[in-house]
Amino acid sequence: MRGKVYETNLFFLLVIIITIIGSLILEFFPEGMAQELFQYICILIPALLYVYLKRKSFKETLKLNFISIKNIILVVFLTFAIQPFIVLVGTVADIIFKNQCELLFGDLGNYSIWFALFGTALTPSICEEVLLRGVILDGYKGMSIKKAVIMNGFLFGIFHMNLFQFSYTFFIGIILALIVYYTNSIYASIIMHFLNNALSVIVTKFPNSFYARLEDNLYRTETITQVVLMVVLALISIIVSYLIIKVIARTNNNEGVYTRYVVSNDLIVKEKVFNWPLVVSFIIFLLMSLLIAVAASLNGLM
């Protein structure tokens, strides 16, 4: 029997196909606003249409629920706390796969800070969160939380269609799914997603800013001492982030938010996760990663 997870994975595959076709069409347009509108057209609109055609509640499916000031503060702290670990993963991935973001998205230096924030931080935080932490996470709602958040991180990773970004978006996706589960609000993941991407924009646009210089000084890998420092900071980052997530869970459990959202163990669905739509999505991811790696090599980026 084809259940909720199957339908969710099939829709995910459909969105991947739409985004690939959309990116090919986008090549005929000049760089600028069209690049950003593509995400709303190819990601956000299909997600909203899916909810509408399935006759689901937008509020329940997308978790458009109030988020408290305390949760916002905790999410902000979590965003900064996890950065050393994400930087370490990104550094290792850069050594193995090379950073292909410039090839994929162009040079942010060509745009104003406001356009860069709109295109790189705000737009993905809305479109991708509605899709991944809204529609997709809701499709896994009947499964155990552990399986649901790991799969959400996996799908978030392959959605970026390259191995470099998969390396860290996998972990970020898990965290984003967790805080949505615990707060039952998509606004939590939108805030964290926006801040995480905004930090990258700030580092790129303002290389002499305090945060950029701090990151440059702390996360060098030129000597053994600097490598050890990076690893130690990453371990501290994991511990602190774990504790913050525990506080978020405990806070919302005490207030009944998390309790109302969790599915009872007796009702957990045993549906197969790795069905053919997911396998095809993963194969497309591998093929796109290979094509991007070849393109990066031809462009002298590797």
When divided into structural domains, the chain yields a total of 1
Asked if residue 157 belongs to a domain, the reply is yes
Q: What sign does the CA torsion over 128, 134, 138, 141 have?
A: positive
Q: Does residue 91 surpass a pLDDT of 90?
A: no
Of 85-94, 177-186, 267-276, which has the strongest mean pLDDT? 177-186
Question: What range defines the domain where residue 34 resides?
Answer: 4-56+67-298
- The DSSP letter of residue 43 is I
Q: Does residue 271 surpass a pLDDT of 90?
A: no
Asked if residue 280 belongs to a domain, the reply is yes
Predicted local distance difference test score (pLDDT) of residue 221? 63
Asked if residue 100 belongs to a domain, the reply is yes
Rounded to the nearest 5°, which phi and psi values hold at 140? -100, 10
**Cα–Cα distance, 49 to 42 (Å, whole number):** 11
Asked if residue 62 belongs to a domain, the reply is no
**Cα–Cα distance, 66 to 183 (Å, whole number):** 9
Asked if residue 168 belongs to a domain, the reply is yes
Asked if residue 61 belongs to a domain, the reply is no
| The token pair that represents 294 in the structure block | 């070849």
Alpha carbons within 13 angstroms on the beta-carbon side of residue 254 total: 7
Collect all residues with Cβ–Cβ distance below 8 Å to 201 and sequence separation of at least 6.
108, 113, 116, 117, 120, 121
Alpha carbons within 13 angstroms on the beta-carbon side of residue 244 total: 22
Confidence tier at 185 by pLDDT (50, 70, 90): very high
Give the DSSP per-residue string, 68-137. Answer: -HHHHHHHHHHHHHTHHHHHHHHHHHHHHT---HHHHH--GGGS-HHHHHIIIIIHHHHHHHIIIIIIIH
Confidence tier at 179 by pLDDT (50, 70, 90): very high
Q: Taking the model in full, what pTM does it have?
A: 0.91
Collect all residues with Cβ–Cβ distance below 8 Å to 127 and sequence separation of at least 6.
39, 40, 43, 44, 47
Distance of CA 241 to the CA centre of its chain: 17
Q: Which three-class secondary structure state does DSSP give residue 158?
A: helix
Asked if residue 84 belongs to a domain, the reply is yes
* pLDDT tens readout for residues 118-162: 888 999 999 999 999 999 999 998 888 899 999 999 999 999 999
Asked if residue 83 belongs to a domain, the reply is yes
Give the lowest-confidence range in 108-112, 209-213, 246-250: 209-213
